[in-house]
Amino acid sequence: MLETSRPMRILIIPSWYPSEASPLNGIFVREQAKCLARRFAVTVLTPRSPSFLHQLCFRWGPAFTQANDEGIDTLFVRRLRLPSLHRIFASRKDPDYIVPYYRRFCRAIRDGFAWYVKQHGLPDVIHAHVVLPAGWIAVELGREYGVPVVLTEHSEPFSMHLGSETQRQLVHATLSGADRVVAVSSALRDVMLKYCPNLKIDVIGNIIDTTFMSLVKATGIASRRFRFLFVGMLTERKGVQHLLAAAQMLKAKGLSAFEIYVGGDGPYRSTLQKMAQELGLANQCNFLGMLTREAVRDHMQACDVFVLPSLGETFGVVLGEAMACGKPVLSTRCGGPDSVVSPETGILVAPGDPREFADAMAGFMTDRYSFDAETIRQSVLTRFGADAFLEQTEKLYRGLSTRRAPTHARTA
């Protein structure tokens, strides 16, 4: 069993992590790290890439940078992104196009791990997020140093990692090599089991910041229109096109006293804005662009119903956040939401079906459904709050043991 006389040292290696350039990239990993730091000695190890301009000017910065990020000890290891022949000539249609990036990522993490060990000694647990590339290097390091490895998978769709035979071999070796594998929803676990049937997979949902996402009393403004809110990346897979089609159906039924707020940005935004115009929804559909976390919370607290018409989700953090604000939700049976939304918290409909979505929207507007804000929030606290997450994760950590002797440890 792992030593318990001192706080366990947890080294988190994420495939995606927030940066100045992409502040929302992998933010769910950061939220988990902040929560775990309340009980464990947590360090996040992640690559830092200087901008291309800084690289041209040889302003690369130090090889290793350690910072305290709201209580999270964060170790950034420099990873240069200089052009290579492969990057110049390889086609993105090549299924192995991404593999050289995986290898550069792994080299940077190996350097950072060696620096961490010199400073702190070996961690008690390596906790990787997403099978490629973080899980791959985590399993290698765990095998070489005899450190147990936990791998949490978030990817949607999981098939994004299975594009070539090389990737499939890496994924299989990584999943088989981890001491414990965690999926953030039952739906994702089932998808992974189809690929690796004999794998034991725990399910621990993403953490919802129920302190930040809070319940507020209704403003009492009864004259304004019924407000539906969507927040997410504007891609075709998020299904906002079906939300707009459903909204047109509502208007055709004479239910026009509503408004839709769309928060987020992405490659599909211009298409959606054009569609809203063509469907006669210009005065009812508000595209907000990218929002800060504070703005997301404010809009969630101001809406009547949060909607997620997605065609596929591994979890659906935004659903949990809206529910933490006491708001009922309308989503699709597309994986993660099936585990997040219950009859006490919202309505689930078939994905890609505007008619069914419109009927559910009408049900909210005509008081066909009844939900209690306190009950909705309590369901999040019980299942996805910080205390619930800590309890499940600590039990997982405490149950680990080093299952193999370390091999000869390589240092970069």
What is the three-class DSSP state of 316?
coil
Q: Is the pLDDT of residue 69 over 80?
A: yes
What does the pLDDT average to over 276-294?
Answer: 95
**What is the predicted pLDDT for the residue at 411?**
41
CATH of domain 9-207+388-398: 3.40.50.2000
**What is the predicted pLDDT for the residue at 55?**
52
Share of the chain above pLDDT 90, in %: 79
Q: Is the pLDDT of residue 29 over 70?
A: yes
What is the three-class DSSP state of 128?
strand
Q: 373-384 vs 386-398: helix axis angle to the nearest 10? A: 20
In tens, the pLDDT along 342-399 reads 999 999 999 999 999 999 999 999 999 999 999 999 999 999 999 999 999 999 999 9
In tens, the pLDDT along 169-218 reads 999 999 999 999 999 999 999 999 999 999 999 999 999 999 999 998 65
Cis peptide before 62 (omega within 30 of 0): no
Q: Is the pLDDT of residue 50 over 90?
A: no
Spell out the domain ranges in the chain.
Answer: 9-207+388-398, 226-383
| Phi, psi angle pair for 42, to nearest 5° | -100, 135
**What is the predicted pLDDT for the residue at 60?**
59
Question: What's the fold here for domain 226-383?
Answer: Rossmann fold (3.40.50)
Q: Which of these ranges, 89-103, 167-181, 238-252, has the smallest mean pLDDT?
A: 89-103
Sheet order of strands, 72-78 included: 64-69, 72-78, 41-48, 9-14, 125-129, 149-153, 180-183, 201-203
In tens, the pLDDT along 109-165 reads 999 999 999 999 999 999 999 999 999 999 999 999 999 999 999 998 999 999 999
Residues 260 and 361 sit within 8 Å (Cβ to Cβ): no
Per CATH, 9-207+388-398 and 226-383 having the same topology is answered yes
**What is the predicted pLDDT for the residue at 42?**
97
Q: Is the pLDDT of residue 403 over 60?
A: no
In tens, the pLDDT along 297-313 reads 999 999 999 999 999 99
Q: Is the pLDDT of residue 221 over 70?
A: no
Give the span between the Cα atoms of 58 and 121, in whole angstroms: 32
